[in-house]
Chains A and B, each alone.
Chain A
Amino acid sequence: MNKDEQLSRLLRLKRHESPGQDYFAGFLHDFHAHQRLHPAPQGSFARTCDWLTRASQSLRRPALAWTALGAAATAALVLQLRPTANPSGLAAAPADPAPAASWQSRQTPLPAAQTLPVSSSPRLAPPAPGKRRTSDQPQDLRRVIGSPTPSASAMPADPAQPAPQPAAPR
């Protein structure tokens, strides 16, 4: 017999360690006592019922408590089921406050007659070549708005100045 088998046999002897049959006969009784001392947590419905029962028992007339509860429940039910007259008309409004019409109006282009090409506006026209801008002439629109990084290509080219030449390749 090798050591592993010997060890298994030794360990199996531990099966003989037991508290005795009397212990198991009394265990169920102990378990019931344990359950009474540490009752299982109940669900909310059971808790509510228990609370109401205790509350009604504490009153002199328990029936009154149940009647009051019934009346309150009926009132809540009636309020819940009552059809709303909707005086403000809020319920009829769609959930989306942005109506389709407003979205539609953005999509519909204005008639051509109502539009004014920017280039044809006399207030935004650049000064004629060789003429200085006068005070009654508005500045360039992008300057008014304040373009964050006006690049050279983005600025209107001054026809009086020669166009910058690209650097010659070395």
Chain B
Amino acid sequence: MADAAANDKQEDRQLVERAQEGDCPAFDTLVLKYSQRLYALIYHMTSHREDTHDLLQEVFARAFRNLKSFRGQSGFYTWIYTIAVNLTLNFLKKRNRRRMLSLDDVDSGIQHDGEFLELTASSDPVREAGLHELQLHLNEALQKLSNDHRAVVTLFDIQGMPHAEISRILKVSEGTVRSRLHYAHKQLQAHLSNYLA
């Protein structure tokens, strides 16, 4: 596991070095590698797919512009995640009024997801609610959180990132990450009480 992460970092470093020397296909490889994860990060923070598309392009454009200044003190992964989170938070600050949700489809894989099957088996409300309704309520509940709290929930609960990594990306202490997470969970439990037994 640790070896795989180290190899991943090494591969990123080589790609970044090549891109810094002007090798555009190397940067394309980084775009292809991270676009899916960064899309998910931005999408779960905005709940708006068109905004997500625009922001994702801006993230990679900014990374490309600033690639020369990337010295490799942190991993490329942390660096580009930081760009994405900061850009999205700035965007959300400017977007004062909450826009209508513009949601992606739920992929068919959810029907085979063990956790989903377990939830539908054990929880009547989840079973009774249609998939679309559940998705809508989840996104609405997330949008009721503050931007900072939503960022932590997205990184920890949805993307499965450890506290230490989140603290590096958000440039706050691990204690702050845990505190935000605790507060956000309390709020989400209140908003989604119908789905929690």
B56 and A13 contact, CB distance less than 8 A: no
Q: Which of A34-42, A96-104, A139-147 contacts B (4 or more CB under 8 A)?
A: A34-42
Report A-chain residues with C-beta under 8 Å of the C-beta of B139.
14
Contact with B along A80-122 (1 / 0, CB 8 A): 0000000000000000000000000000000000000000000
Judge if B36 is at the interface, Cβ distance under 8 Å: yes
Q: Interface size bucket, A side?
A: 20 to 34
Chain B residues with a Cβ closer than 8 Å to the other chain, count: 47
Alpha-carbon distance A26/B138, docked complex (angstroms): 28
Report A-chain residues with C-beta under 8 Å of the C-beta of B43.
17, 19
Mark out the residues of chain A between 9 and 30 whose CB falls within 8 Å of any chain B CB in the assembled complex. 9-20, 23-24, 27-28, 30
A31 and B31 contact, CB distance less than 8 A: yes
User: Taking the nearest CB of chain B, how far is it from the CB of A121, in angstroms?
Assistant: 76
Tell whether A16 pairs with B113 under 8 Å between CB atoms, given A11-B153, A24-B35, A27-B35: yes
Judge if B72 is at the interface, Cβ distance under 8 Å: no
A34 and B138 contact, CB distance less than 8 A: no
Report B-chain residues with C-beta under 8 Å of the C-beta of A35.
61, 64
- When C-beta atoms are compared, the residue in chain B nearest to A5 turns out to be B196
User: Taking the nearest CB of chain A, how far is it from the CB of B65, in angstroms?
Assistant: 5
B105 and A31 contact, CB distance less than 8 A: no
- When C-beta atoms are compared, the residue in chain B nearest to A17 turns out to be B104
Q: How many A-B residue pairs have CB under 8 A?
A: 108
Mark out the residues of chain B between 44 and 60 whose CB falls within 8 Å of any chain A CB in the assembled complex. 44, 49, 53, 56-57, 60
Alpha-carbon distance A7/B186, docked complex (angstroms): 10
Mark out the residues of chain A between 38 and 64 whose CB falls within 8 Å of any chain B CB in the assembled complex. 38, 40-41
Contact with A along B113-130 (1 / 0, CB 8 A): 101101100110010000
Partner of B115, one of A12, A24, A34: A12
B39 and A12 contact, CB distance less than 8 A: no
A6 and B158 contact, CB distance less than 8 A: no
B113 and A10 contact, CB distance less than 8 A: no
A24 and B196 contact, CB distance less than 8 A: no
B105 and A12 contact, CB distance less than 8 A: no
Which residues in B have some Cβ–Cβ distance to A below 8 Å? 28, 31-32, 35-36, 39-40, 43-44, 49, 53, 56-57, 60-61, 64-65, 103-107, 109-110, 113, 115-116, 118-119, 122-123, 126, 134-135, 138-139, 153, 157-158, 160, 185, 188-189, 192, 195-197
Which residues in A have some Cβ–Cβ distance to B below 8 Å? 1, 3-4, 6-20, 23-24, 27-28, 30-31, 34-35, 38, 40-41
